[in-house]
């Protein structure tokens, strides 16, 4: 009889220990189970090419929480000649990659690889050519890019390579963490640790037209000044002088006039306004905060409409 009686307290004790163990688990471990994988780092590399083309490279390091055999990312820009290489626990191999358009201008890029078990280390590198990031704005070229994360990222890095023959002009948003001159070219770098879910980043960099002389030292120093003193943190609206604020209000009026005809997808507003995607995103975000409009998430894009009074 004594043996049977001793089993009940033992089970209760075990259950209590298990419960305490779960409650005392680090919150980071518990949260990570909400996602298929943990994003250790996410890096973006942009190389400005001729004819308004840009070569984009995305490098991701992740650790699966479940068996994983694919990785997907989305882009609002056209994708040409995509290539992918994956490193699984230190072993490199070519990955299968495919692209399909899902909604509006949104492209889904699928990278397939042999199934890996939870805890494995994956390093995925995707590169492709694209257009649309470089546009002509007020007689000068402007690079713009927008990215939003739907889960935590340990380390985010972005690098823009500006080749010989171009000079950096304002705006430069957000302020670069580093501006480096290599030969007669410039490299701008942005870094951010512990990125939160739903955190978004807007990149806007202005360029002069192509020049024939070497990159001027004075322009380089001016770039550093603009980058470190004139920029803002990612996701904030670039502060301009009073004249530009008047222009912004004029842009708001254009958006309101278009929306009086009925709701529009954000990508359609980009086309009809003739602005860059980053500028439209900044403009709509500001108007939403003012209560002028509202954006409704539909898949990977937004439906924009007037705010109901």
For residue 62, what are the domain limits? 37-230
Q: What is the pLDDT of residue 193?
A: 95
CATH code, 289: 1.10.10.10
Please tell me the number of Cα atoms within 13 Å of 134 on its side-chain side: 22
For the full predicted model, state whether its pTM sits above 0.85: no
Q: Which two tokens stand for residue 118?
A: 């939870």
pLDDT per residue as tens digits for the range 147-192: 889 899 999 999 999 887 777 877 788 889 988 887 777 889 999 9
Residue 12 has pLDDT above 80, yes or no: no
Q: Are strands 37-48 and 153-162 parallel, antiparallel or unpaired?
A: parallel
How many domains, the chain? Answer: 3
Residue 236 forms part of a structural domain:
no
Which CATH number covers residue 172? 2.60.40.1730
Helix (H) or strand (E) holding 62: strand 53-64
pLDDT digits (tens, 9 = 90+) for 79-129: 999 999 999 999 998 889 999 887 777 888 999 999 999 999 999 999 999
Do 61 and 148 fall into the same domain? yes
Residues in CB range of 199: below 8 A, 6 or more apart: 148, 149, 235
On whether both 9 and 117 belong to a single domain, the answer is no
Element (H, E) at 307: none
**Residue 237 located in a structural domain:** no
């Amino acid at each position: 009889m004594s043996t049977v009686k001793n089993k009940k307290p033992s089970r209760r004790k075990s259950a209590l220990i298990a419960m305490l163990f779960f409650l005392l688990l680090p919150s980071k471990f518990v949260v990570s189970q909400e996602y298929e994988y943990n994003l250790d780092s996410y890096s973006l590399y942009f190389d400005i090419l001729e004819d308004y083309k840009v070569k984009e490279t995305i490098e991701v390091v992740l650790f699966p929480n479940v068996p994983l055999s694919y990785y997907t990312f989305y882009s609002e820009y056209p994708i040409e000649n995509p290539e992918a290489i994956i490193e699984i626990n230190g072993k490199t191999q070519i990955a299968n990659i495919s692209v399909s358009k899902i909604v509006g201008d949104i492209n889904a890029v699928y990278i397939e690889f042999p199934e890996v078990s939870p805890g494995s280390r994956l390093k995925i590198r995707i590169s492709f050519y694209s257009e649309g990031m470089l546009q002509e704005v007020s007689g000068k070229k402007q690079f713009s890019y927008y990215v939003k994360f739907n889960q935590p990222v340990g380390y985010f890095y972005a690098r823009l390579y500006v080749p010989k023959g171009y000079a950096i002009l304002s705006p430069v948003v957000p302020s670069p963490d580093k501006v480096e001159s290599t030969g007669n070219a410039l490299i701008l770098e942005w870094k951010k640790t512990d990125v939160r879910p739903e955190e978004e980043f807007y990149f806007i960099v202005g360029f002069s037209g192509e020049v024939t002389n070497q990159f001027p030292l004075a322009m380089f120093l001016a770039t550093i000044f603009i980058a470190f003193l004139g920029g803002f943190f990612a996701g904030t609206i670039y502060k301009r002088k009073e004249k530009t604020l008047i222009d912004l209000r004029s842009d708001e009026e254009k958006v309101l006039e278009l929306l009086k005809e009925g709701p529009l997808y954000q990508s359609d507003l980009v086309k009809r306004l003739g602005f860059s995607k980053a500028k439209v995103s900044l403009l709509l975000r500001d108007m939403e905060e003012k209560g002028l409009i509202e954006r409704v998430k539909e898949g990977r894009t937004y439906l924009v409409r007037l705010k109901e009074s």
